């Protein structure tokens, strides 16, 4: 899980988006900025919860399917999953129901579209091999991509 220097690249994501990734329901994380990083990435659930999003029908139904029914059921302030960051694609077009990503071979629709901000000009980070941690790791989040050092894990 950790690189040869004992660190792991991490991205902090608000809830419920972080849990949707950890549950394997969200394969694209949308951002306003592009990254050239590719490789293993940890998903950190920030302390903030998007309460408006947690009331949206597709999100409620998906979380309920995984026995998450209350806001308190969403973990916060911890690394909850790891995955591979496969690619980063600019959103070329979107019509309110679907989006076409850079290269025109990536098409996003249904829940995947509902689980991100696919406005034209934003970037969709493609995630694969998503693995939920059996024991989430307490960590203070940061903006952008950040490094988590293995040696800082004390209470696993």
C-alpha neighbours within 13 Å on the C-beta side of residue 76:
12
Answer whether 0.95 is exceeded by the pTM.
no
Q: Candidates 1.10.1040.50, 3.40.50.2300, 2.60.40.10, 2.30.130.30; correct CATH number of 7-88+124-151?
A: 2.30.130.30
Determine how many CB atoms are found less than 10 A away from the CB of residue 33. 10
Top-confidence residue, 26 or 140: 26
Domain ranges of the chain: 7-88+124-151
Looking at residue 42, the DSSP 8-state letter turns out to be E
Span 22-75, pLDDT tens digits: 999 999 999 999 999 999 999 999 999 999 999 999 999 999 999 999 898 999
User: Residue 5, exposed/middle/buried by CB under 10 A (0-12, 13-18, 19+)?
Assistant: exposed
Cβ-based neighbour number of residue 148 at 10 Å: 20
pLDDT band at 96 (very low <50, low <70, confident <90, very high): very high
For residue 34, what are the contacts with CB-CB under 8 A and spacing of at least 6?
A: 88, 90, 123
């Amino acid at each position: 899980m950790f690189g040869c220097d004992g660190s792991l690249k991490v991205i902090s994501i608000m809830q419920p988006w972080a849990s949707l990734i950890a549950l394997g329901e969200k394969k694209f994380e949308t951002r306003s900025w592009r990254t050239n990083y590719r490789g293993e990435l940890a998903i950190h659930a920030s302390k903030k919860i998007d309460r408006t999003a947690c009331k949206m029908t597709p999100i409620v139904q998906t979380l309920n399917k995984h026995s998450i029914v209350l806001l308190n059921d969403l973990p916060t302030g911890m690394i909850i999953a790891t995955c591979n960051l496969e690619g980063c694609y600019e959103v070329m077009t979107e019509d309110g129901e679907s989006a076409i990503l850079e290269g025109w071979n990536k098409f996003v629709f249904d829940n995947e579209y509902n689980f991100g901000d696919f406005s034209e000009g934003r970037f969709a980070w493609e995630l694969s091999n998503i693995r939920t941690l059996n024991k989430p790791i307490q960590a203070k989040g940061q903006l952008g991509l950040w490094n988590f050092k293995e040696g800082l894990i004390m209470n696993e």
